[in-house]
Structure 1
Amino acid sequence: MALLAFYAPFSSARLQYIARLIFEQHLGLLLHVLSSKADFLAYSGPKLAYGKLAESPLFIPKVTAVLEQEDIRPLPAIVWQMDQNNWPFALAAKGGIIHFDLLSLAFLALSRYEEHLPFEEDPHGRFSAEQSFFAAYLRRPWLDYHFNRLGELLVQQFPALKIKALAYAFLPSYDIDFAYKYKGLPLWRQAGKLLKNAYQRPKELKRQLAVLVGQEPDPYDVFSHLAKAHQSLGIAAPHYFFLLGDYGPYDKNTPWKAALLGRLIQGLQQAGNQIGIHPAYAGDWGEQIKRLAFWTQKAPKKSRQHFLRLRFPQTYRQLMALGIKEDYSMGYAANIGFRAGYSRPFYWFDLSENEEKELKIYPFALMDVSLKNYLSCSVETAKTLSDQLLAELREVSGSCISLWHNSSFDAAEGWAGWTEFYLDFLKRAKKNELI
């Protein structure tokens, strides 16, 4: 690990967090923090300061006091510009190795600062993408780019400095809201579906009966097909998040005690897939974690919120209290892209407690229902948008986590053509690793 001397005229938990994230976690450097400007100026090796220095150009400008503060205040004024490579930046200033306050801007985005301020909730109590201070650039991993660019500028100043080599990576993940459409349902739910199909969808009634007598596979039972697709492309350890809450308006999975569901979970686990919890819209998350542990014989460490209902700081604190170490909810339902402006995993900073936590956040880049339902994409438009997203990620050597549902392969529910799209997307997303 190469050494980088770092100086700032103040010390704070926020500054330490964002400096470690950029320089150590992303660039792979070892920070050597200097306590005085004189020591910094006298240091002859690779170095960088935060805050303007009259004696040296080796600094990142400090435009706001957000990294010095310990409370949550209104956002500073943020005016976006484009750099020479057509990537967005804000908090501009003159001088320095990079001409804007990257540390403050990155902290505001990664801490989800704006989501701790008052906002207008959507019908599910969520912060919406259009309210974000970088809504116009949501589909661009702009922090990945600027962190990489900062590394390049440091190497230009110090050619012997070794920056960590980053590589694009792809991980498919699945939310299992409904393990099966018909199999494993209790009698009263099965009867309700039979009556509804009899009155409204006679073709679907015929299929339901065929599934129940074993003449056709359940429409949502696509797990073996996914396994074959993953294997053929060399995709290892996809993630599956299971909803195990009690039945309710937004929680309608196969009953958690059903042996059919248990065999599915155990089979996926034994095949090398990663199994996580999908905390229900309602109910006791701790009890749901125990239910998953009943089938897997170990407490889950990975989680993704049902309906992506993420509230700060409550959701992450509750997950941590339940032993969750990794969360995969960092994304929007109504749009694709990067909720925190960054594609790679990072540790959560609890603004209310003003400290970095052990919970690791894994952002996802795109979701099936975002494309089809929220953005009303045709299959062709979805391919164009996903290609653009993959190209951006390839450019910055970023991380692409996709979010799909096993129920999104059922043509009878409006997903005609999307199975072919997804299988092609897997190929395109995986191919990026070989470029």
Structure 2
Amino acid sequence: MLQFSTSELSWLCTILKERFGLCFMLDQSLSGLKLSLVGLPDSYILFPKLEEAFHQSRSDFPCSKWNATKAGWVSVLGDPLPAPCVSELPEPLIEQKTHHTVIHYDILGLTYWMLNRIEEIGRTDLDLHGRFPATSSHAYQHDYLERPVVDEWLHLLGQVIQKVWPSVSIKKHQFSIKLSHDVDRPSRYAFRTLKPLLRAMAGDVLKYSNFKGAIIAPWIRLKSRNHLHHNDPFNTFDWIMQQSEANNLTSAFYFICGGDHLNDADYQPEDSRIRQLLRQIHLRGHEIGLHPSYDTYQNPAAIQQEADCLLRVCKEEGIEQGGFGGRMHYLRWENPVTLQSWEDAGMTYDSTLSYADRPGFRCGTCYEYSAFNVVTQKSLLLRIRPLVVMECSIMGAGYMGLGSGEAALQKILEIKDVCRRVDGCFTLLWHNSELYNIALRDIYKRVIS
């Protein structure tokens, strides 16, 4: 019979405590997995069947749906719940007995599989950047990527908990927004040598039809020796912070601190212009974080080195924070090596986990949660902060290709509303270099308001 390990059960109890604010016990027997409350052991919830697929790295299994409303329960999104791993669910799905309730769907297995990205371990069907793409995922193939399926099922589990233990109070959550900005290019012109500068000027004309930008580029480059020039189209930091402050939000800016790949940054964190920017961000009460360079996602030593670099520069500038988190460059992430690298580097959280090619809920949730290394079977101090939307996933021509018009705005707002309806966190990545015109800024302002 399939069983969870002791460490997996402990981690699941942690996840349930974070979600419901209650202390649970999980026990396994031949009858299934029993969930009980510490201090109230006489009643319990039984999951009689654990699904083997939720412990396997694969996507080729069925998906059913369950109509909670028809069965007398509440679907938080109002639609039938996707039920990965099964082609058909028994009726009734939830049976209330004298001293316990039986749930004939492996909600805890689904939670384990989605939150720990079991599906992705050791996969070889990767994109040209070595990433597991959305299009290979079970969620995309069965049309629930834009639904936080774990949050939906845990909402249902919360209803069962309330019926089994009517005297307890379940933790209430509030919708929130987390804004982050990967600083791949803090300036369009300041750090470029002659040939790259000429290429940027050509791009201004050919790609953006920005003749004025091409004309003033050399002047901006000349005037950017001591600080980032306010007319540089990528120097949107002050504007971003203004928008955040106007909406009582905090922005997190993630900086690249190394790397020599073509896709890496053209700046160094030790540069006086970057140091000045770091000080400005900190003085205004916003957050500084790490954006490990392109080739680090399989290299723990490199992530450690770049984390140390960021912390050293911040210390030299008198910048102190409660912790440092961030996101991998290009969303390159391999389980569990990248996860463990963040832990070993002493980072507080990792906000990499969204797909580059599609927005949505890669982890099946929009809640932050405790990380777990499924290979070493150890719970980590690291927090996973799932990324829900990256602007270029929706707008970029190589991805959804919705451009910078109303279609893109409505898609972002649609996903934001899903996060709101499950009382979760809408985590948005918007690069500072992708706010260079009025249309983009208008969408951004409408999204965060």
Q: Which structure 2 residues correspond to residues 386-425 of structure 1 after superposition, within 5 A?
A: 386-411=412-437, 417-425=439-447
Distance 1:194 1:160, change over 3 A: same
- Which of 307, 315, 320 aligns to 2:343? It is 320
Measured in 1, the distance between the counterparts of 2:35 and 2:351 equals: 39
Measured in 1, the distance between the counterparts of 2:364 and 2:290 equals: 25
Q: Do the aligned partners of 2:368 and 2:385 also contact (CA within 8 Å) in 1?
A: yes
For 2:409, the equivalent position in structure 1 comes to 383
- Which of 224, 249, 272 aligns to 2:238? It is 224
Measured in 1, the distance between the counterparts of 2:204 and 2:238 equals: 31
Measured in 1, the distance between the counterparts of 2:345 and 2:39 equals: 48
Q: Do the aligned partners of 2:19 and 2:171 also contact (CA within 8 Å) in 1?
A: yes
Q: Does 1:21 align with 2:15?
A: yes
Measured in 1, the distance between the counterparts of 2:167 and 2:149 equals: 26
Alignment coverage as a number of residue pairs: 399
Measured in 1, the distance between the counterparts of 2:412 and 2:58 equals: 34
For 2:247, the equivalent position in structure 1 comes to 233
Quote the RMSD (CA, aligned, Å): 3.0
- Which of 426, 430, 433 aligns to 2:448? It is 426
Measured in 1, the distance between the counterparts of 2:369 and 2:385 equals: 7
Measured in 1, the distance between the counterparts of 2:13 and 2:41 equals: 15
The alignment's TM-score, normalised by the length of structure 1, stands at: 0.83
In structure 2, the gaps of 5 or more residues are 69-74, 96-100, 206-210, 224-228, 297-301
Question: How far is 1:127 from its partner?
Answer: 0.3
For 2:208, the equivalent position in structure 1 comes to none
For 1:132, the equivalent position in structure 2 comes to 137
Counterpart residue identity of residue 247, structure 2: L
Question: How far is 1:18 from its partner?
Answer: 1.9
Q: Does 1:332 align with 2:355?
A: yes
Q: Percent identity?
A: 22
For 2:369, the equivalent position in structure 1 comes to 346
Question: How far is 1:34 from its partner?
Answer: 6.5
Measured in 2, the distance between the counterparts of 1:253 and 1:47 equals: 62
Q: Do the aligned partners of 1:46 and 1:161 also contact (CA within 8 Å) in 2?
A: no
SS of 1:160's partner is: coil
Counterpart residue identity of residue 186, structure 2: A
For 2:386, the equivalent position in structure 1 comes to 363
Q: Could you report, residue by residue, the CA deviation over 1:341-361 in whole angstroms, capped at 9, with x for unpaired residues?
A: 011111222111123222110
SS of 2:430's partner is: strand
SS of 1:285's partner is: helix
Q: Does 1:163 align with 2:170?
A: yes
Distance 1:199 1:105, change over 3 A: closer
Q: Do the aligned partners of 1:19 and 1:103 also contact (CA within 8 Å) in 2?
A: no
For 1:248, the equivalent position in structure 2 comes to 261
SS of 1:302's partner is: coil
Counterpart residue identity of residue 375, structure 1: M
State which drifts further: 10-19 or 254-263. 10-19
SS of 2:311's partner is: helix
Measured in 2, the distance between the counterparts of 1:107 and 1:63 equals: 11
For 2:221, the equivalent position in structure 1 comes to 212
Q: Do the aligned partners of 2:347 and 2:382 also contact (CA within 8 Å) in 1?
A: yes
Question: How far is 1:14 from its partner?
Answer: 1.9
SS of 2:382's partner is: strand
Measured in 2, the distance between the counterparts of 1:392 and 1:40 equals: 28
Q: Which structure 2 residues correspond to residues 174-185 of structure 1 after superposition, within 5 A?
A: 174-183=181-190, 185=191
Distance 1:242 1:65, change over 3 A: same
For 2:149, the equivalent position in structure 1 comes to 142
Question: How far is 1:162 from its partner?
Answer: 0.7
For 1:119, the equivalent position in structure 2 comes to 124
